[in-house]
Amino acid sequence: MSDVARAGSIEPGSGQLTADVDATHGLDLYRRMQLIRRFEERVYLHYLQGELPGTLHQSQGQEAVAVGICDALRPTDWITSTHRPHGHALAKGVDLRAAMAELYGKATGCCGGKGGSMHLGDPSVGMLPAIAIVGGGNTVVTGLGLAFKLMRTDQVAVCFFGEGASNEGAFHEGLNFAAVQHLPIVFACENNLYGASTPFHQVSLVPDVATRAVAYGVRGEIVDGMDVLAVREAAGRAVAEARAGAGPVLLECKTYRFAGHSRGDVKGYRSREEEVLWKERDPIVRLRARLAATLDAGVLDDMDAQVEAALDDAIEFARQSPLPRAEDALTDAYATVISGGSAS
Amino acid sequence: MTAAEAPVVGERRLTIAEALREAIAEEMRHDEKVFLIGEDIGVPGGFGGAFGVYLGLTEEFGHDRIIDTPISEKALAGAAIGAALMGMRPIPDLQYADFLFECMDELVNQAAKMRYMSNGKLSVPLVLRCPVGTANRGAQHGQCPESYFVHVPGLKVVCVSDAYHAKGLLKSAVRDDDPVLFFEHKLLYGSKGREQAGGMDLTAHVPEEEYFFPIGKAVVKREGMSVTVVATHMSLYRSLAAAEELAQDGIDCEVIDPLTLLPFDEETIFASVRKTGRLVIAHEDTLTGGWGAELAARVAEECLYSLQAPIRRVASHDVPLPVAPVMEQTVVPSQARIKAAIQRCCEG
């Protein structure tokens, strides 16, 4: 890469969006963000129509974080996720049909119907079942990093968590332990300003989670989480540092969830003006504008159509899939079936 | 093989601490994925763990495999769980079982549920060593909290009381693919508890050759026809001592060490109760909601018509632990209380 490119002064029309991302790559980032956006929107519709059990935590608006960070990872790297995991799962490569079927509670789901929306994950693509306890992943991820270090692999683990988790003891214990052990971990904070309905400024006098890195002797960085190219660039740096043994890194992505905390949230705790301001920074709209400068508009429209077709297929797959067998509820608590403990 | 048996001249007898150390060393030699992680376990010039179990191991295995952590139970439990998810076989150490409450989320929400939530695709093979038991340390360093974890599907819970089973079970636990909580009583590590255990020899024969003892299997420590007594840790030794006294009164106790509380070896207990018709359960965990309650319920469900008298439980009273010895001895099950409960059970 040239020094010019490194400085970010990319020639308009050159086809290069950043030093690391050319137009083809950019189109792929766009596809994956659009897939997440439309997944969330369509799933919500079918949820309201009564097709899906349970609850939903949607991530519209936060797509650039999931996609930008996972794009900097290898298939052999791992992530931990949160109660809002759909975007992380699709970005890390969980099969679309299997993810959809899991939300539908079907046997073909990536967790066989045992996980559901809040525990979406698939070890085969490097994603633990999402951990829906706030801060829960922040300590478990240290073990992933420790195993990579002990086994002398060059794998990296990313822990996604919200700004709300930074007030949990787990955040501090996990970051400190990872720091003293120099573990190959990126702690990726999705700061969407609200823990459920509670604004972050009400629960922390430190406005930027990244500044907490100083307390643990690690590097912290703040990035615009509404710009997938910026996230990709920062993630590339953080992941490279972690892989080289210079981690962990605390990467804070400033973002916003366009939807409520969970289904049925009418968002009475934030102003419509604030929502409009953030909507104007929609990461998909922004990347589409960047790409439109070099790509034919038809290419982007085709991509949108492909995403809809893939979702049509996944939804149909989920609908047609068999329900889990009721008796499968009693398997997989242990490696081998143990006697006793079943109520009559 | 009971601890009450007289030692055979020339046989190799070890304390529980020695047996645990030997099991850990063997498993670390056997599998490079086994490692130790905890507080004060390998610091040069340190303690070798809170109870000296790891003394000498750092010299053989080095600091890569004996990892000292901050005083940070959530982090060390999380690190062990995460490493286990990646195929390692960690043996985390918490110094005192009382500190388990610092990492309940990691144990109950993560370790116990990852296999299930992943539909069987993931395993969490770890053995968490937890020293329990009163020893004049008061309310926060003497609890026996094993019953909390008996309530958690996905965990396995082991309570060891002698060196032979401690070694065989620890080796099995390390090779088990599920998370195992391994409860050891502080007074039973060496010979310190000997007086409180009725003067019994707390060492046991441990063969030189390798062996395993299966998780989920109880042992009959003393055979008898009058009454079944199920007990763990110090309560086991006090039950055995009480049994010797009661034998003089014609009460012939069958004393069983369950060894594993989850999964529980019901069949051994049921068979004994069907034979004796009477059951006494003794544990140092508190009474209400203790594992003895679960066992009593299962025996009532399966063996009610074999019972000739109500089931009796002897447990720590439902109060926090005091330090003053005279009060502590009042709270935990004494040999006298166990003896009285057996007598009462045999009256009916």
Instruction: Give the angle subtended at the CA of A258 by the CAs of A253 and A261, to the nearest 5°.
Output: 90
Among the listed residues B141, B185, B233, B283, the single catalytic one is B141
Nearest-angstrom CA–CA distance, B57 and B41: 9
Domains of chain B in sequence order: 13-205 (3.40.50.970), 220-347 (3.40.50.920)
Query: Looking at residue B10, what is its pLDDT?
Result: 74
Contact B200, B241 (CB under 8 A): yes
- Flag whether residue B345 sits within 8 Å of chain A, measured between CB atoms: no
- What does the pLDDT look like over A270-292, one tens digit per residue? 999 999 999 999 999 999 999 99
Residues 6+ apart with CB under 8 A from B202: B3, B15, B16, B162, B188, B190, B191, B193, B194, B237
- Flag whether residue B119 sits within 8 Å of chain A, measured between CB atoms: yes
Contact A136, B104 (CB under 8 A): no
Phi, psi of A91 (to 5 degrees): -70, -35
Enumerate residues 82 to 111 of chain A having a beta carbon within 8 A of any beta carbon in chain B. Answer: 110-111
Instruction: Please state whether the peptide bond connecting residue A248 to the residue before it is cis, i.e. omega within 30 degrees of 0.
Output: yes
Token pair recorded at residue B101: 């409450």
Residue linked to tokens 């297929």: A313
Which candidate from B70, B87, B262 shows the least CB-CB separation from A177? B70
Q: How confident is the model at residue A13 (pLDDT cuts 50, 70, 90)?
A: low
Residue linked to tokens 């899991």: A102
Higher pLDDT, A95 or A341: A95
Nearest-angstrom CA–CA distance, B70 and A74: 31
Please answer yes or no on whether A177 and B76 come within 8 Å at the CB atom.
yes
Q: How confident is the model at residue A4 (pLDDT cuts 50, 70, 90)?
A: very low
Enumerate residues 175 to 234 of chain A having a beta carbon within 8 A of any beta carbon in chain B. Answer: 176-177, 180-181
**Beta-carbon pairs below 8 A across chains A and B:** 159
Please answer yes or no on whether B75 and A174 come within 8 Å at the CB atom.
yes
CA atoms within 13 A on the CB side of A254: 10
Query: Looking at residue A1, what is its pLDDT?
Result: 36
Which candidate from B78, B87, B301 shows the least CB-CB separation from A174? B78
Token pair recorded at residue B107: 């144990």
Q: How confident is the model at residue B43 (pLDDT cuts 50, 70, 90)?
A: confident
CB neighbours (10 Å) of residue B11? 10
Which among A80, A74, A84 has a CA at the least distance from the CA of A118? A84
Q: How confident is the model at residue A5 (pLDDT cuts 50, 70, 90)?
A: very low
| Secondary structure class of A51 (helix, strand, coil) | coil
| Secondary structure class of A292 (helix, strand, coil) | helix
Segment A208-218 mean pLDDT: 98
B13 pLDDT above the threshold of 60:
yes
Domain ranges, ordered by start, for chain A: 24-262+269-330
Q: How far is CA A159 from the centre of its chain?
A: 9
Contact A192, A113 (CB under 8 A): no
Nearest-angstrom CA–CA distance, A111 and B241: 52
For residue A142, what is the nearest residue in chain B, using CA coordinates?
Answer: B79
- Flag whether residue B118 sits within 8 Å of chain A, measured between CB atoms: yes
Active site residue B185: no
Which of A233-237, B48-52, B241-245 has the lowest average pLDDT?
B48-52
Instruction: From chain A, pick out residues whose CB is under 8 angstroms from the CB of B75.
Output: 139, 142, 173-174, 176-177
| Secondary structure class of B263 (helix, strand, coil) | coil
B318 pLDDT above the threshold of 60:
yes
Contact B102, B74 (CB under 8 A): yes
Segment B109-116 mean pLDDT: 98
CB neighbours (10 Å) of residue B5? 12
Query: Looking at residue B124, what is its pLDDT?
Result: 98
- What does the pLDDT look like over B273-315, one tens digit per residue? 999 999 999 999 999 999 999 999 999 999 999 999 999 999 9
Segment A180-201 mean pLDDT: 96
Enumerate residues 131 to 150 of chain A having a beta carbon within 8 A of any beta carbon in chain B. Answer: 131, 133, 136, 138-148, 150
A7 pLDDT above the threshold of 50:
no
Token pair recorded at residue A339: 């006697």
Nearest-angstrom CA–CA distance, B68 and B271: 45
Nearest-angstrom CA–CA distance, B251 and B271: 19
For residue B73, what is the nearest residue in chain A, using CA coordinates?
Answer: A173
- What does the pLDDT look like over B172-200, one tens digit per residue? 999 999 999 999 999 999 866 667 666 67
Query: Looking at residue B45, what is its pLDDT?
Result: 82
Query: Looking at residue B1, what is its pLDDT?
Result: 40
- Flag whether residue B333 sits within 8 Å of chain A, measured between CB atoms: no
Q: Residue type for B39, please?
A: E
Nearest-angstrom CA–CA distance, A337 and B3: 32
Which among B283, B151, B182, B166 has a CA at the least distance from the CA of B219? B166
- What does the pLDDT look like over A125-161, one tens digit per residue? 999 999 999 999 999 999 999 999 999 999 999 999 9
Which candidate from B82, B116, B267 shows the least CB-CB separation from A332? B116
Query: Looking at residue B300, what is its pLDDT?
Result: 97
Long-range contacts of A196-200 (CB under 8 A, 24+ apart): A196/A164, A196/A261, A197/A261, A197/A265, A197/A268, A197/A269, A198/A164, A198/A269, A199/A269, A199/A270, A200/A163, A200/A164
Q: How confident is the model at residue B11 (pLDDT cuts 50, 70, 90)?
A: confident
SS (H, E, C) B104-117: HHHHHHHHCCHHHH
Alpha helices per DSSP H over A49-95: 63-70, 86-92
- Flag whether residue B176 sits within 8 Å of chain A, measured between CB atoms: yes
Query: Looking at residue A117, what is its pLDDT?
Result: 96
Which among A101, A34, A4 has a CA at the least distance from the CA of A291? A34
The fold adopted by the segment(s) A24-262+269-330 is Rossmann fold (3.40.50)
Contact A189, A209 (CB under 8 A): yes
Q: How confident is the model at residue B47 (pLDDT cuts 50, 70, 90)?
A: confident
First to last CA, chain B: 31
